[in-house]
Amino acid sequence: MLVARTLADLRAACADLRRPAQALALVPTMGALHQGHRALVRAATASGAAPVASIFVNPLQFAANEDLTRYPRDEAGDLATLRAEGCALAWLPDLATMYPDGEATTITVAGPARHWEGAARPGHFRGVATVCAKLFGQVRPDQAYFGEKDWQQLQVIRRMVTDLLLPLRVVGVETVREADGLAMSSRNRFLSPQQRTQAPMLAAALRDVAERLAAGEAAPALLAEARAVLQRLDFAVDYFALVDGETLSPVNSAIPGARLIAAAGLGTVRLLDNIAAGQAAAYPRKIVDPA
């Protein structure tokens, strides 16, 4: 696996990989890699393109009160993981490369970025869109892979790529879950043992509502019930909503493409999850062997 830490090295590595006329598939990450990230690299590899993974903890997407300094970092472990997955190139830019002194340009997406995480974390999607645009400009991938785990982020990136006519395809990859249903996340390590036993209830609530929507129950009552149940279980529910899967606008029934999305705090950890609405049978819980 090639490892690039400067733009010059990146350009040389990308040129090498492209020489046999191979397409590049980018997997942007913030490191602390787990099975969810591995699934993205595998999907990128399966496309036939050369998989390129970036690792950059992006300060622009963290608000002042958020967890930038305690965000987990494990460069050696991450590089070993990427090597094991057959990644062709790891791109590890530093802060000065990503944010040159005096830069004047950031990217603001409205539309799908407006509600939910966009409202709870002002500036978050501006940071995500800006860093992804920079990564796309640096690597010039033919495809970029993002997890459905961050459903709203996936739609924001799709929208940016469409609006800015960027010459790449955005591919979403199904959420990888622990055996008990909890969506894998780099932040799960901050759950106490007690919170870890409670955390899968968020996914369970989403599945329950999806199944009952599919069975024809009315959305507003189901959503209110799920919020109340989670609150009783000590979740600080930020939102538990039924939305249009593309625009993220709230909807009142499980129209085609609708998505159930949720964010809830458990201790200091903000858990995010989502599921297709009204067709739970098509979304079996993904069991991952912890080994």
Q: How far apart are CA 206 and CA 240, in angstroms?
A: 8
Residue with smaller CB distance to ligand AMP, 40 or 135: 40
- Kindly state whether residue 183 participates in binding ligand AMP, applying the rule CB under 6 A: yes
Torsion angle of the four alpha carbons 206, 209, 215, 219, in this order, in degrees rounded to the nearest 10: -130
The answer to whether residue 34 is catalytic is no
User: Which DSSP letter does residue 242 get?
Assistant: E
Residue with smaller CB distance to ligand AMP, 78 or 212: 78
- Kindly state whether residue 173 participates in binding ligand AMP, applying the rule CB under 6 A: yes
Residue with smaller CB distance to ligand AMP, 46 or 255: 46
Nearest distance, CB of residue 160 and ligand AMP, angstroms:
14
Q: How many residues bind ligand AMP (CB under 6 A)?
A: 17
Alpha helices, DSSP H only, in the chain?
Answer: 7-18, 35-46, 75-84, 95-98, 117-120, 124-139, 151-163, 193-198, 200-214, 219-232
Sites for ligand AMP among residues 139-158 (CB under 6 A): 146-147, 149-150
- Kindly state whether residue 116 participates in binding ligand AMP, applying the rule CB under 6 A: no
Residue owning tokens 């970029």: 144
- Kindly state whether residue 170 participates in binding ligand AMP, applying the rule CB under 6 A: no
Q: How far apart are CA 144 and CA 62, in angstroms?
A: 22
Q: How far apart are CA 99 and CA 103, in angstroms?
A: 7
Sites for ligand AMP among residues 16-75 (CB under 6 A): 29-30, 36-37, 39-40
Residues making contact with ligand AMP (CB under 6 A): 29-30, 36-37, 39-40, 146-147, 149-150, 173, 175-176, 183-186
